[in-house]
Amino acid sequence: MKNKLIQILLLCCISFSTFGQWQQSVGTAGLNMQSLLTNGIYNFAGGQTGAYLSTDTSASYLSSNNGNDAVGPTRGFTKDNSYIYTCTSQGAFRSSDNGTTWVSKSLGLTNLLGSGILNVGTRLFYVGPTGIFMSTDQGDNWIAAGLSTTDVRSIAAINDTLFVGTNGAGIYKSIDWGVSWVSVNNGLGASVNFRAIESKGNTLFAGGPMGTGVYRSTDFGSNWTLLAGGLTSGSYRGFCSNSQLIVAGSFGGGVFYSTDNGNNWTTINTGLIDLTIFDLELNDNYIIAATNTQGVFRFPLSNLNLSSGISDFDVKYAISIFPNPTTNKINVKADYKLIGTAYIVYDNLGKSVFSGIINNDHTLIEMGNLPRGIYLLCIGDNMKPLSKIIKQ
């Protein structure tokens, strides 16, 4: 009886230890990984040997590179309601079947080498050593969108405002979809290299070069502050976030997370055998990390004791709508926990005009057939009013 009790206690300890630390994803050991994306049950990873796919919450990955760049690294992913996109050394690629097959979509890209790709509403943006390119037809055609003489390494957006991090020129902002760009470097000091930038609600986080760390802006890039609160000095290459936390990955220092918008940080490196992080992502249950030499790792979110449920959300971080006012459609940018949640749009008389499901982190709602006026978007089990929409 005593021996059985000891065995049970040992099993519990082993299970707890495994549950509470990073776990290497099967099929990725020894691989360079540089980019990640979650799309429902599909988890993508990309790196020096192309694209990989997991359908078991990142427990394991298989090659998913049929038609994708097989020569150089897959450095970025993005998605819209119809496709998954990659950013590679050979241009942009698109998949309509969650990575089973890929098709090259680089018409108009004057330099195929890409450093990042981002979907914002109905627009795609592709960044690289010759600036920024934009597509308004899901990658079929690309046009130049500024900074053609600048090596652009990262891109993020807050609603319809774009931000890019560069190699050698700091951070830029555009409020007109790339027609013009302005430098927003106040508070960055001598830091000019930014390989990662992340938007969390209306807060921006940027990863600085060696000897610095993570910078934060709460005023759309006008001013930046170098954060401390538990972060180590170094270069930061990857971020992920939701309404509850921001996670940062460093070059050689591992992973840090914050639940107070970056004021204080905690290190989570147990089980992580490569501390050089190139990208981070979230799915429903895990933080996912792409490492330089040891592939992909996952860390259980449940171990962080975060609150759950829509009722715990700070509404201003849970969802945003743009453009607003609008003439024909709106893009609803939602926190991942809202995906699958029902919504209803009411007119100013309280009549329901249509309803649907938040089916992605960017959901398009057509309003072109509605008369001009003020509408109210409600969401969730209790149909909480989240935003007024002005239809022009």
Domain of 373, CATH number, reads 2.60.40.3080
Judge whether residue 386 has pLDDT over 90: no
Domain shared by 300 and 322, yes or no: no
36 DSSP 8-state letter: E
Q: Which residue has the higher pLDDT, 104 or 351?
A: 104
Domain shared by 376 and 260, yes or no: no
Judge whether residue 327 has pLDDT over 90: no
Is residue 166 in a domain? yes
Boundary residue ending a domain (304, 331, 363): 304
Q: For the residues 219-231, what does the mean pLDDT come to?
A: 95
Domain shared by 236 and 346, yes or no: no
Judge whether residue 3 has pLDDT over 60: no
* Structural tokens at position 262: 């970056």
Yes or no: say if 151 and 137 are a contact pair by the CB < 8 Å rule.
no
Close Cβ partners of 13 (under 8 Å, ≥ 6 residues apart):
none
Full 3-state SS string of 71-116: CCCEEEEEECCCCEEEEECCEEEEECCCCCCCEECCCCCCCCCCCE
Lowest mean pLDDT among 15-19, 73-77, 88-92: 15-19
Q: How many domains does the chain have?
A: 2
Q: Residue holding tokens 């938040």?
A: 358
Is residue 387 in a domain? yes
Domain shared by 232 and 260, yes or no: yes
pLDDT of residue 346: 82
Quick: pLDDT tens for 51-61. Answer: 999 999 999 99
Quickly state the pLDDT bin for 365 (edges 50, 70, 90): confident
pLDDT of residue 9: 37
Judge whether residue 253 has pLDDT over 60: yes
Q: For the whole model, what pTM was predicted? A: 0.80
Q: CA nearest 95: which of 31, 37, 47? A: 37
21 DSSP 8-state letter: S
Domain shared by 212 and 75, yes or no: yes
Judge whether residue 310 has pLDDT over 50: no
Cα separations (Å) of 46 from 77, 180, 281, 296, 377?
Answer: 8, 31, 12, 10, 36
Q: For the residues 119-131, what does the mean pLDDT come to?
A: 96
pLDDT of residue 240: 96
Strand partners, 241: 246
pLDDT of residue 201: 87
Q: Which domain holds residue 361?
A: 318-391
Domain shared by 278 and 385, yes or no: no
| CA 279/CA 293 separation, integer angstroms | 13
> CATH code at 232?
2.130.10.10
Can you say whether the dihedral through the CA atoms of 164, 127, 154, 140 is positive or negative? positive
Quick: pLDDT tens for 78-94. Answer: 999 899 999 999 999 99
Is residue 309 in a domain? no
Q: What are the b/e assignments for 284-299, b being 16+ CB within 10 Å?
A: eebbbbbbbebbbbbb
Domain shared by 288 and 378, yes or no: no
Lowest mean pLDDT among 86-95, 205-214, 367-376: 367-376
Domain shared by 275 and 387, yes or no: no
Q: For the residues 347-374, what does the mean pLDDT come to?
A: 80
Quickly state the pLDDT bin for 12 (edges 50, 70, 90): very low
Q: How many other CB atoms sit within 10 Å of the CB of residue 1?
A: 5
Q: Which residue has the higher pLDDT, 7 or 368?
A: 368
Judge whether residue 193 has pLDDT over 50: yes
* Structural tokens at position 288: 């996912």
Domain shared by 249 and 348, yes or no: no
3-state helix, strand, coil in the chain (%, to 5): 10, 45, 45
Boundary residue ending a domain (250, 271, 304): 304
Q: CA nearest 45: which of 283, 301, 361? A: 283
pLDDT of residue 348: 74
Angle, alpha carbons 304-309-312 (nearest 5°): 85
pLDDT of residue 69: 93
